[in-house]
Chains A and B, each alone.
Chain A
Amino acid sequence: MEWLETFWATYSTLALSLGTNILLALSIYLTLACGLLTVANAAFMGIGAYTAAILTLNAHAPFALAILAGALLAAAAGLAIGRPTLRLSGVYLAMATLAFGEVVRILILNAEGLTGGALGLNGIPQLTGAFHVLCAVAASLYVLLRLAHSRFGRSLAAIRQDEIATELLGLNVRAYKLFCFVAGAGLAGLAGALNAHFTFFIGPNEFGFERAVEILAMGVLGGVSSPWGAALGAALITLLPELLRGLGHYRPLINGVILIVIILYSPNGIWALFQSAARRARATKGTSC
């Protein structure tokens, strides 16, 4: 089993990043699934990361408590920002959540006493293990898959397709949206809290615009028709740069080209390709017997 140990020593950070990225993709899946274009999830991740890290570093809080507090504070921030901004839609909502993300980043930058400012927080205890990440991913996937295949998921799909028609069938569209936004914020906070406890260091720029777009890309690339799509998108965005490592300087270029090609040929995400292939297979099976 020596090879396994070597393998894990080399790739453990990548595996843990993959796990937290799946959580982030699922967090954006929740809002995309009801047609909301938000880019605040990097900020929620930051809130979770800083909350948990400050608790373990300064207050020596137990790990589980720190993680929970990170997720809850991010969800609370989601509730505070979601109530006023979810009246907006489309690009206006994207702008509002983008502005919120910047506010969070600048707050972290300026609250030096608590957050270390631009220098970030160093020496965060490495408490996150593969087991924690695996549990978080499995539990989130399970819950979201159950929701997606229930009446709740059907209602989200209805909201995504025609918000007004859904409201006029008696569904409280705002409540659905707010629930998804807050749950997504909590999930992003959880991802941030777990992430901070294996990267040793966090800084304000990790949770800025670039990260926000990366999270959005995972969700869109995978597709919003199923939580599996989000997980697949996260895997692709995390692993593609590693697989292309041999290309050296051309890596980001090829990376970008691959993403563009996928979006062009499957605008509903990669998961939609799998789904339509499965449907076709079922259909041919149905006609042959």
Chain B
Amino acid sequence: MLKLASVSMHFGGLQVLENVNLDIPERGIFGLIGPNGAGKTTIFNLVTGLFAPSGGAIEFFGERLDGRPAHQIVRRGIARTFQNIRLFREMTVRENLLVAMSAETTGSIARALLPGPSRRHAEERQRGRADELLARVRLGEKSETPAGALSYGEQRRLELARALATDPKLLLLDEPAAGMNAGEKRELMSEIVKLEESGLNIMIIEHDMGFIMNLCREIAVLNFGRIIARGAPAEVRGNPEVIEAYLGRDE
């Protein structure tokens, strides 16, 4: 499904990713772990087109993604959440989702000027879908609340719903459980499992080992911009190189 072939990335003299090869099959939740600064979020930034890689190729269902502008990549079915939440804080919860649903410029200006039943219809349909998604992440009661007034956990859930509003085939979650308590993490985990069961491909960056080991079918470990291990959670956990990367070497 998603394929990174010899992808490298450097910012000036700083090598962030070095010859990364990753071929992620369809279905199942794929985990990406590694120490801070290993280059995990950079991979997400490259896949979503926020940056162009310095070298290598990125393919999604056989189609080249690198070099395309970010909005086109989203429309091909890749959505993401952010490590530091990026909501439209001054908008209501529902409006945050509606922005994600209005992803076409052509015609929208002309349509905005012309009154008519088709426009009202489309808006009603979108509102309906937005409310369904909000109910799904248990924010149905808060659709009129400004996003900035939500609690931290609610903001995380809203960001997830907003990503889903773009109708993705692949969802990239960047540390979705950060700052959550045990109960919230359990709820999030069951929500992610449900999403996967509904046919969505999911790739996840997370520091909480328990969370990621329970959730993922396969995990890749990144250290200093290189993939040092890949496999089922149990294999990765026992890999001496991974243990060294996380805990350091015994002197």
Give me the interface of A with B, judged by CB distance under 8 Å: 143, 146-147, 150-155, 157-158, 161-162, 164-176, 179
Contacts and interface: CB of A to CB of B under 8 A. Distances in A.
A165 B105 contact: no
Interface string B67-110: 00111001100011010001111110001001110110100110
Contacts, number: 85
Contacts of A172: 69, 71, 105
A152 B109 CA distance: 7
B90 to A, nearest CB: 6
Given A157-B91, A158-B91, A168 B70 contact: yes
Nearest to B88: A161
Given A146-B113, A147-B112, A169-B162, A154 B71 contact: no
B38 interface: no
Given A151-B98, A151-B112, A164 B162 contact: no
Contacts of B79: 168-169
Contacts of A179: 105, 109
Contact of B89 (A161, A166, A173, A174): A161
A171 B89 contact: no
A169, A173, A174, A179 — which one has the most chain B CB atoms within 10 A of its CB?
A: A169
Contacts of A150: 108, 111-112
Contact of B105 (A146, A153, A168, A176): A176
A173 B50 CA distance: 13
A241 to B, nearest CB: 33
B223 interface: no
B86 A165 contact: yes
B50 A151 contact: no
A169 B99 contact: yes
Contacts of A170: 71, 74-75, 100, 103, 166
A169 B109 contact: no
Given A171-B105, A173-B71, A176-B105, A158 B112 contact: no
5 contacts: A146-B113, A147-B112, A157-B91, A162-B87, A168-B70
